[in-house]
Amino acid sequence: MIYVQDDDLKLQFKLLEHFAGSDRFIVVAWQYPEVNKSPVPFFPTSIAHRNYEPVTKYEYGVIAKHTEPAKAKPSMMAYLGNFSKEIRSAFDSICLYKVGSREWFACTIGHEGMCFVRDDAFLQKLQGKGFNASSKQPDWW
């Protein structure tokens, strides 16, 4: 697991954008349980739960709603970056999934200033791009 710390949500989207350059990924945003509708235009809440793995697990079996999956393109990450305020208030996390997979590949938890990438093989490449990436979990996490 790779841990990337950055409080700037736009820079967190840059991390997701790093992987979004191919058609291999979709993006799904996980809403806080009390939120019923996505505040981001053209990124609607899904009517059905599609069994994607969430990053955050809630007590009492609460399953958060998520957005409809969208192609994870750099333009989509830039678009989402325009809604930082809305995203911080409505979404717990934003995740990339490989097409056909229900397990998240990379995600950002904006309010925590934390991103995760499951595959350690990307560590040096992310560090080379200037991300504060480590295979060691931060002490505060």
pLDDT of residue 63: 82
Task: List, edge to edge, every strand of the sheet that includes 91-98.
Answer: 70-71, 25-31, 91-98, 104-109, 114-117, 2-5, 133-134
Give the tens place of pLDDT for each residue, 53-103. Answer: 999 988 888 888 999 999 999 999 989 989 999 999 999 999 999 999 999
Q: Is residue 140 part of a domain?
A: no
User: Does a structural domain hold residue 67?
Assistant: yes
The pTM score is 0.92
Asked, for residue 102, whether it belongs to a domain, the answer is: yes
Assigned domain for 127 exists: yes
The whole domain housing 87 covers: 2-134
Residue 120 lies in a domain: yes
Domain count, the chain: 1
The per-residue pLDDT for 130 is: 94
Question: Across the chain, what does the average pLDDT equal?
Answer: 92
Give percent of the chain with pLDDT exceeding 90. 73
Angstrom distance (rounded) from CA 91 to CA 87: 5
* Residue 139 resides in a domain: no
